[in-house]
Structures are given as structure tokens and as C-alpha cells.
């Protein structure tokens, strides 16, 4: 990201906090649960591959959910989620590494660590199956290089979701060797959401890459729209967490995965 680029104050604050955060201690080494395999298994079972996100709050949420994240995770899996995303960013999203650790122990689906990782030491915080690297936030002063961070994450065993928002960022992700790419419908400069972003950018993602549509997906019609545009899977937070009304997370997930009430195996310990 060009340091002179205008971005929303909330995002600037997220980035400032991320720059300040250090890493963990010992180098993480993980044997990951395969994200593409989890998507294939769910699709083969006739459900929509959804990564359901545990996001207690966010700069754009109207409230906060204080339910136990492990309960939420189990409800999401019972509702047919193929994988989970857990915010570990503490200052703006109410997340923590400890939450991710507890959730990953309680479920057997792949778990994405959703955070704003800017340098290598920040990979050594907690075991996860997938970590997120956001193209837009890398390559500015004081951050790591995308290619180097991708390699560093893989050396630790992580799968890597490389998040993009434009065709140029997709090109950067592909050049860096990404094999799982997300297109975020939320513009992190303005925080506006437009599902047309995925439709515009998806054609630039090469075949063979696992492609995830992120943000702003609320309804089964939105899912059809993203799947028709080429999404292998959907990353959904707000519509499942329903921060202001605190509705039933399992039902919210089921509505979006198309899961039958009795067809889903519930969670097991790993
Ligand atoms: O969700 C936010 O308000 C937000 C604000 C600033 C930077 C990032 C933000 N979200 C990160 C995400 O990528 C979303 O949590 C994720 O894609 C799910 O989106 P949604 O289904 O719209 O909650």
C-alpha cells in the first residue's frame, strides 16, 4: 500500500495497531487441515462451501456478540460451515490468539487466522490451518514483502489466503505464488461493500487457484451471484454473527450453506 493513499480512519487505526504488535516467541510449526479438501468435501455433499467467521465486533458492526466463541464455532459447524475464520485482532475486532486456539481444539474443520499480519514475527503467535496476507497492506514501509511472507508462512506449515481487491493485486498475488486467493468486496480505503468487485476481478484469477469471495454476502441470492462469478467458497462474517440482533448462529449458517437440519455431523475434538 502506498503510504500516501487515503484510507478510512478505522483502517488506519487497525494498521497503526498492527505495526505496533510484536510476534510470539517460539517459531510455530503446524500440520494443517486442508482448506481445498474441506471445500471439495462440502461441495460433494451438496452444500455451499462457506468459511464462517467468528468476529465478535468490527469497525462496521452495529454491536458486539459476547457469546463464547467455542459455542459459536460449534454452531457454525453444525450449520454446515466447511471452515471457520477467527479474528485474532484484539483492538478493533474483539479477537485473540487464545480464542483461535480454543476454537481449533473444539472443531475438526480448517481454521483461518484472520489478522493483519505485516511482518514475519507475527506468524509466530498461534497455530492455525490458514493465515491471511492482505496484498494492499504489504510492501509499504515497515511491512514485509508478500513473496517472502508467503514463503515464511508455508515454511511453518500454514496454508495462505492472499487477499486482493483489484486485478493488479491479483497479479501481485499470482506472481508471488499464491494458490488460495480471496477477493474482498469491502474496499478497505472506504469500507464500502460492493459485490460487483468480485464479479469484476474474478476473471483475472487463473484456473487452479482456490478462489474465495469475501465480505458483504448476506443472502442465498448473493451466494448464487458469487458462485456464478466463479467463487469456490464464500467468507461470511456479519450475516452469520448478526451483531445487533444476536440471532441463532447455527440457523444463520444453515441458511447460507443450504445444509439439511439432520445431515451435518457435529464437532469432534482433534
Ligand atoms: O468487517 C469490517 O468492518 C472490517 C473493517 C476494516 C477492515 C476489515 C474489516 N473486515 C475484514 C473482513 O475481511 C471481513 O470480516 C470478512 O471478509 C467478512 O465480511 P462480512 O461478511 O461482510 O462480515
Please, are residues 207 and 235 in contact by the beta-carbon 8 Å criterion?
no
| Å from CA of 262 to ligand 1 middle | 30
**Pocket lined around ligand 1, Cβ cut-off 6 Å:** 10-11, 14, 53, 55, 58-60, 184, 186, 188, 191, 214-217, 235-239
Please, are residues 16 and 137 in contact by the beta-carbon 8 Å criterion?
no
Structural domains of the chain in order of their starting residue, each with its CATH number: 3-258 (3.20.20.70)
- Is 98 tagged catalytic? no
Q: Which residue has the higher pLDDT, 24 or 84?
A: 84
Q: How far apart, in whole angstroms, are the C-alpha atoms of residue 245 and residue 127?
A: 32
Query: What is the percentage of the chain residues whose pLDDT exceeds 90?
Result: 85
pLDDT per position as a tens digit, 104-147: 999 999 999 999 999 999 999 999 999 999 999 996 777 779 99
φ, ψ of residue 221 to 5 degrees: the values are -65, -40
Instruction: Supply the pTM of this predicted model.
Output: 0.94
pLDDT per position as a tens digit, 166-202: 999 999 999 999 999 999 999 988 999 999 999 999 9
Please, are residues 56 and 231 in contact by the beta-carbon 8 Å criterion?
no
* Cell triple for 248: 441463532
Looking at residue 120, the DSSP 8-state letter turns out to be G
| pLDDT, averaged across the chain | 92
Q: How far apart, in whole angstroms, are the C-alpha atoms of residue 117 and residue 115?
A: 6
What confidence category does residue 270 fall into, taking pLDDT thresholds of 50, 70 and 90?
very low
| Å from CA of 186 to ligand 1 middle | 7
* Among protein residues, the one whose CA lies closest to atom 12 of ligand 1: 215
Q: What is the CA radius of gyration of the chain?
A: 17
Amino acid at each position: 500500500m502506498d503510504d500516501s493513499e487515503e484510507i478510512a480512519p478505522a483502517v488506519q487505526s487497525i494498521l497503526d495497531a498492527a505495526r505496533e504488535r510484536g510476534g510470539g516467541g517460539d517459531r510455530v510449526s503446524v500440520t494443517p487441515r486442508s482448506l481445498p479438501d474441506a471445500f471439495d468435501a462440502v461441495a460433494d455433499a451438496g452444500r455451499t462451501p462457506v468459511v464462517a467467521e467468528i468476529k465478535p465486533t468490527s469497525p462496521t458492526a452495529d454491536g458486539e456478540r459476547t457469546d463464547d466463541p467455542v459455542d459459536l464455532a460449534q454452531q457454525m459447524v453444525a450449520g454446515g460451515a466447511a471452515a471457520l475464520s477467527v479474528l485474532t485482532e484484539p483492538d478493533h475486532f474483539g479477537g485473540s490468539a487464545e480464542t483461535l486456539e480454543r476454537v481449533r481444539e473444539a472443531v475438526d474443520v480448517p481454521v483461518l487466522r484472520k489478522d493483519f499480519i505485516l511482518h514475519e514475527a507475527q506468524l509466530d503467535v498461534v497455530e492455525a490451518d490458514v493465515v491471511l496476507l492482505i496484498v494492499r497492506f504489504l510492501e509499504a514501509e515497515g511491512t514485509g514483502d508478500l513473496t517472502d511472507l508467503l514463503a515464511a508462512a508455508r515454511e511453518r506449515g500454514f496454508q495462505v489466503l492472499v487477499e486482493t481487491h483489484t486485478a493488479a493485486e491479483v497479479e501481485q498475488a499470482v506472481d508471488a505464488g499464491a494458490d488460495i486467493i480471496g477477493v474482498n468486496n469491502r474496499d478497505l480505503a472506504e469500507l464500502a461493500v460492493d459485490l460487483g468487485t468480485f464479479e469484476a476481478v474474478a476473471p483475472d484469477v487463473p484456473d487452479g487457484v482456490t478462489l474465495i469471495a469475501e465480505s458483504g454476502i448476506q443472502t442465498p441470492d448473493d451466494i448464487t451471484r458469487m458462485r456464478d462469478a466463479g467463487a469456490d467458497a464464500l467468507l461470511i462474517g456479519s450475516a452469520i454473527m448478526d451483531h445487533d440482533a444476536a440471532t441463532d448462529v447455527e440457523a444463520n449458517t444453515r441458511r447460507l450453506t443450504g445444509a439439511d437440519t439432520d445431515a451435518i455431523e457435529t464437532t469432534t475434538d482433534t
